[in-house]
Homo-oligomer: A and B are copies of this chain.
Amino acid sequence: MDSKVFNLKTKLEVYKAMSGGANFADCPVRDVIQGINGKWSSLLVMALAEKPYRFGALRRLVPDISQRMLTQTLQELQRDGYVHREVFPTKPPSVEYSLTDLGRSMFVPLYQLVQWAELNHDAVREARAAFDASSQA
C-alpha cells in the first residue's frame, strides 16, 4: 500500500473533520454522510447518474425496493439537493427524477467508492469466510 494518500492532511484533522471537533453529534460532515448512507440512497443516485427516470421506471429498475422506500428515499435525496423532481401535467400525471448539479458532483466520489467495491469484493468475501471459519473453531 502506498501511504502517501494519508498525508493529504494531518490525519487527526481528517478525523476531526468528521467528528465535528467539540460538538460531535452536530458535525456537518457526519450529517451529510448520513444522508448518503441509507440502504437505497447511493443505489438510486447511481441509477439517476445514467439518465433521468420516472417513478415507475425506477421501481422496475430496482425490483427489490418497496414503493414506500422509493418514495421516501427520493424525498430525502430531493431534500438534500441531490435530486430534482419535475411533475409533468399529463393525464395521468408523470413525474421525472434527475440528478442536480450537486448530485452529479456527489456522484464523483461515490462512484470511486463503488468502483473500489467492484474491484475488491472478492477480498471482502474471502475475509468474511476466513473470519467465520476461525471464529467457529
Contact A19 B32 (CB under 8 A): no
Q: Which residues from B are CB-within-8-Å of A101?
A: 1
Of the listed residues A111, A125, A128, the one surrounded by the most CB atoms of chain B closer than 10 A to its CB is A111
Query: A51 → chain B, closest Cβ, in Å?
Result: 7
Complex Cα spacing A19 to B46, Å? 9
Contact B109 A115 (CB under 8 A): yes
Complex Cα spacing A111 to B13, Å? 12
**Interface range for A:** 35 or more
Closest to A8 in B: B111
Given contacts A124-B32, A131-B78, A118 and B19 within 8 Å (CB-CB): no
Contact A127 B62 (CB under 8 A): no
Contact A25 B117 (CB under 8 A): no
Task: Tell me if A88 is interfacial: C-beta within 8 Å of chain B.
Answer: no
Task: Tell me if A39 is interfacial: C-beta within 8 Å of chain B.
Answer: yes
Of the listed residues A19, A33, A101, the one surrounded by the most CB atoms of chain B closer than 10 A to its CB is A33
Contact A125 B1 (CB under 8 A): no
Rank and list the top 6 A-B pairs by shortest CB-CB distance, nearest first: A81-B127, A11-B50, A28-B121, A32-B117, A109-B112, A109-B113
Query: A118 → chain B, closest Cβ, in Å?
Result: 5
Complex Cα spacing A34 to B113, Å? 12
Given contacts A1-B104, A117-B32, A46 and B15 within 8 Å (CB-CB): yes
